[in-house]
Amino acid sequence: MPFIEEPPKWLAPGVEPSESKKTEGWLPNERPPADYWNWQMSRVYKVLLELQEKALENEDLATALGNVVKRSGDTMTGPLMFKDVNGDFLGALRFIESAFTFYHELRARIESESIDIVSSDSTNITAMGVNINASEGVYIEGGLFADRIKTVAPVAGNDVAIKATVDNAITVGKPQQSVMNGQFDIWQRGAIVPYANNFGGGNSAGYGPDRFWGQVFEGTGGTGSNTGFQFERTLFTRGQTDVPGEPSYFCRYFVNAVGTKAPSNAIIRVQQQIEDVLTYAGRKCTLSFYAKASTNRRIAAALTQQFGLNGSPDVPCPGGASFDLTTAWQKFSLTFTVPSIALKVVGSGNSLMMTFVIYKDDNDPIALPSGQVGTYATGSIDFSQIQLNEGDTPLAFRPRAVGEELALCQRYFEKSYSQPSKPGDVINNGAMVFVTADNANNGAAFGTTSFSVTKRTTPSVRIWGIQGNEGRVYDGDTDRVVDSGKVVDWVSDTNFRSEFTVAGAITSRRMFQWTADAEF
């Protein structure tokens, strides 16, 4: 029967408490802020609403599950016994137990032998989001497994899916994409991001497209010669077919200076740290990507477990390999075996490091593939549709919605500026606006700036006046020096506070832009 009660509506979003407060809880005599209560009540309402909207009636779900899997001459534990629920707690527990038993037996059958996926009623199949088509294959789209899996392998005309087909088409529970911004839609730092010796002579490094970091390092014992590179957001020609799916941009990594290579440890690389060293631990994963270069050259791809601060030493993942790029787009893929982390010490800031090696001299810091790789030379390398998925088969690239991708990236870097603008631009769109507490020109301004997304860690926050001067605040006339207090204080993973005055202000208005960087 349909739901009778409606969830208690609460739309005020509030502010999510920090992780430390969630762990510590409320202390005696502490009064929880209204924003925290609003956050909790809003979340409860949204979760309950989602449960109601996505739930199926018992009869519909039982029919769908019963019709999806059939094995001639044998029986399975399922389908689930909905008649046992009866609206009581013990009945719900019995249902959950039955669901787990059914699920695990189904997975075991898929992994050990062929099964028949059949139905006399396509509507019931669709209720689960499972679609079967002799020419298009088996795929899941919407329904109960909408966030799980995706794409397709052809099946025989009698709709019999053998193990290989099921493994490729229905990878239930396997994440399809661990790389963020793999289609290079998000460039919060700007469409062109240059670096030159910013870590001292001979060492240039930094982030460009969100989540991607690059480096040109002349090596240990070098002369401090000039090195440099830049990330460039580059438009695809509309209608091109070299890279499928009509992506808007690709990433050009342009090495414009390499200086004089030192005796050891020289490296040119592009990489992304995937948060959590547990990612794929003890399993296989497959990296796939499109690439080309300004001239033919060899590069490599590597995966490394990094155990973070005070953690175990880095562990290279077997599977690293080299690829020969040409001036035309090609698709490449390789499979890694990610070691177990049993007996490892995991510290803060741990990750799974994905690296594209443009050049390396030796095995420090990238051990696999072993030895020298590539050419220590200038030139550009272009990347598109980078994906890392579980299993030993590259899945078809499926981009996230731009809004979803931006929110994921903002966990690591966020700016107040409108998205087309880069930090330091002369612009007031997105700026924080304060007024002095006493409305006096020389008065103090107070306020709290909240982040759109809770950060990975306490971020480093920088500010600019709207005329583009870093460390200053605009007063309605010009960017002025802060002469007391702090514009950025009490920084947490959710916000920062301001209390400051500026020198020589001629109005009571205060404006500034900001960035919050919580990258590794």
Report pLDDT digits (tens) over 462-508.
Answer: 999 999 999 999 999 999 999 999 999 999 999 999 999 999 999 99
Higher-confidence residue of 117 and 282: namely 282
Higher-confidence residue of 365 and 73: namely 365
Q: What is the pLDDT of residue 7?
A: 81
**pLDDT greater than 80 at residue 367:** yes
Amino acid at the residue 492: S
| Cβ atoms within 10 Å of 158's Cβ, excluding its own | 8
Angstrom CA distances, 84 to 3, 74, 79, stand at 19, 24, 12
For residues 166-179, give the mean pLDDT.
Answer: 58
- 39/37 Cα distance (integer angstroms): 5
**pLDDT greater than 80 at residue 226:** yes
Mean pLDDT across the chain, nearest whole number? 82
Helix (H) or strand (E) holding 253: strand 249-257
**pLDDT greater than 80 at residue 341:** yes
* pLDDT tens per residue across span 110-140: 444 433 333 333 333 444 444 444 333 333 3
Of 17-21, 230-234, 441-445, which gets the smallest average pLDDT? 17-21
420: left (phi over 0), alpha (psi -120 to 50) or beta: alpha
CB proximity list for 431: less than 8 A, separation 6 or greater: 416, 466, 474, 511, 512, 513
Of 112-116, 187-191, 233-237, which gets the smallest average pLDDT? 112-116
Contact 473, 479 (CB under 8 A): yes
* pLDDT tens per residue across span 382-431: 999 999 999 999 999 989 999 999 999 999 999 999 999 999 999 999 99
Token pair, residue 438, equals 């006493």
Higher-confidence residue of 107 and 115: namely 107
**pLDDT greater than 80 at residue 163:** no
**pLDDT greater than 90 at residue 274:** yes
- 302/340 Cα distance (integer angstroms): 17
Higher-confidence residue of 47 and 404: namely 404
Contact 358, 255 (CB under 8 A): yes
Q: Which of 177, 72, 203 is nearest to 404 (CA)?
A: 177
- 351/408 Cα distance (integer angstroms): 16
- 314/214 Cα distance (integer angstroms): 19
Q: Per-residue confidence at 30, pLDDT binned at 50, 70, 90?
A: confident
Give the DSSP letter of residue 82: G
pTM: predicted TM-score of the whole model, two decimal places: 0.70
Q: What is the pLDDT of residue 13?
A: 83
Q: Which of 237, 301, 239, 247 is nearest to 269 (CA)?
A: 301
Q: What is the pLDDT of residue 10?
A: 85
- Beta pairing class for 267-275 and 213-217: antiparallel
Amino acid at the residue 512: F
Give the three-class secondary structure for 470.
Answer: strand
Q: Per-residue confidence at 60, pLDDT binned at 50, 70, 90?
A: low
* pLDDT tens per residue across span 75-92: 444 443 333 344 444 555
Q: What is the pLDDT of residue 171?
A: 43
Question: Percent of the chain, pLDDT > 90?
Answer: 65
Highest-pLDDT range among 153-162, 172-181, 381-390: 381-390
Q: Per-residue confidence at 96, pLDDT binned at 50, 70, 90?
A: low
**pLDDT greater than 80 at residue 194:** yes
Q: Per-residue confidence at 8, pLDDT binned at 50, 70, 90?
A: confident
Q: Per-residue confidence at 106, pLDDT binned at 50, 70, 90?
A: low
Q: Per-residue confidence at 379, pLDDT binned at 50, 70, 90?
A: very high
